[in-house]
Amino acid sequence: MHTYTLPGTDLRVSRIAYGCMNIGGTWDDAPLSTDVQETASRAIQVALETGITLFDHADIYTRGKSEQVFGNVLKASPGLREQMVLQSKCGIRFAGEPQPGDPQRYDFSYEHIIASVEGSLRRLQTDYLDILLLHRPDPLAEPEEVARAFDALHSVGKVRYFGVSNHTARQIELLQKSLRQGLLINQVELSLLHPYLIDEGIVANIPGVSSALATGTLDYCRNHKILIQAWAPLAGGKLFKPNVEADTALGKTAQLVSQLAEEKQTTSEAIVLAWLLRHPAGIQPIVGSTKPERIAACALADEVALTREEWYAMFTAARGERVP
């Protein structure tokens, strides 16, 4: 798989990343089972075999079990840690934690950022994260407090680089003013069926479309060399499900994807991911299946080249109407 150096770092990353949200099994307090561990180990192995080098975590994924099961893999294979770029996220807190009446919330306080990273390092059984992302914007965030946490983590080598997830251009700008470290990544939902960050660039200033839509996040990140990572790049597999109604936008898009896959002798997953890879922003899709065959099918996107016409045909089909 093709790789590139993440701007502003010495990190060499693959064009496609692996998302570890589901490798921990269930989202409850049930202990890890042997089956879950074996499934996770196999998925990680297959991802590595396809050339994937960046592995994405979050402290909340399956309530910490995803990091725990990954840490078991690292412990069992000394030297494996140095072959990958390890990324995790923090900032989301579950309802009922630590007190029963506490609501679900976001927390960019100094104490929570530090505690979250310490927990991730312990579960992952590693001394450092290559990248830490702030998971969801916290309306109560104090940029100076975030900066203090980042400085503390960076100065002792526990986090090498930093970024955000699900942030707008202005939210990134506000944080960056207080940080010594550059924000290098913005991980957002983006796919053929969720193309709004791309679509806003062509529908701004059109009657009936709110001007508030044009946040300019994608262009801002391109201008500031911030890597866009796409979560849910396959839109939950909606395009691959059987019995999709043919006369709907979803059905027509699924048919076009299947047709292109057949013409290019590849998989439908590869075609959908290639649509993101074709964009000049250098988007990095994060795939999250635990099935080896699906991981391999996704990795083939690295070999697919879409023409401008094919890209727009897919875009138009998914929009359900032509571009303006």
| b/e burial code for range 159-177 (CB count within 10 A of at least 16 → b) | bbbbbbbbbbbebbeebbe
Q: Is residue 225 in some structural domain?
A: no
What residues make up the domain containing 145? 3-189
Q: What pLDDT was estimated at residue 200? A: 85
Q: What pLDDT was estimated at residue 213? A: 52
Q: Tokens at residue 67, please?
A: 């990091």
Q: Is residue 25 in some structural domain?
A: yes
The sign one gets for the Cα dihedral 305, 309, 312, 313 is: negative
- Determine the straight-line distance between the first and last CA of the chain, rounded to whole angstroms: 36
Q: Is residue 222 in some structural domain?
A: no
61 is catalytic: yes
Q: Is residue 74 in some structural domain?
A: yes
The answer to whether 285 and 230 are in contact (CB under 8 A) is yes
Q: Is residue 151 in some structural domain?
A: yes
Q: Tokens at residue 99, please?
A: 């007190």
Q: Is residue 237 in some structural domain?
A: no
Burial degree of 72 (CB within 10 A; 0-12, 13-18, 19+): middle
Q: Is residue 173 in some structural domain?
A: yes
> What total of structural domains would you count in the chain?
1
Per-run averaged pLDDT (10 residues), the chain, 324 residues: 94 98 95 96 98 98 98 96 97 94 97 98 98 97 98 98 96 97 96 92 64 74 97 95 83 96 98 98 97 98 98 96 90
Torsion of CA 40, 44, 50, 52, to 10 degrees: 130
Preceding peptide of 98 cis, ω within 30°: yes
CA-to-CA dists, residue 159 to 11, 163, 301, angstroms: 13, 11, 30
Q: Of the listed 4, 18, 61, 312, which one is catalytic?
A: 61
Q: What pLDDT was estimated at residue 1? A: 95
Q: Is residue 174 in some structural domain?
A: yes
> At 95, which CATH number?
3.20.20.100
Residues 6+ apart with CB under 8 A from 107: 91, 92, 93, 138
Q: What pLDDT was estimated at residue 37? A: 97
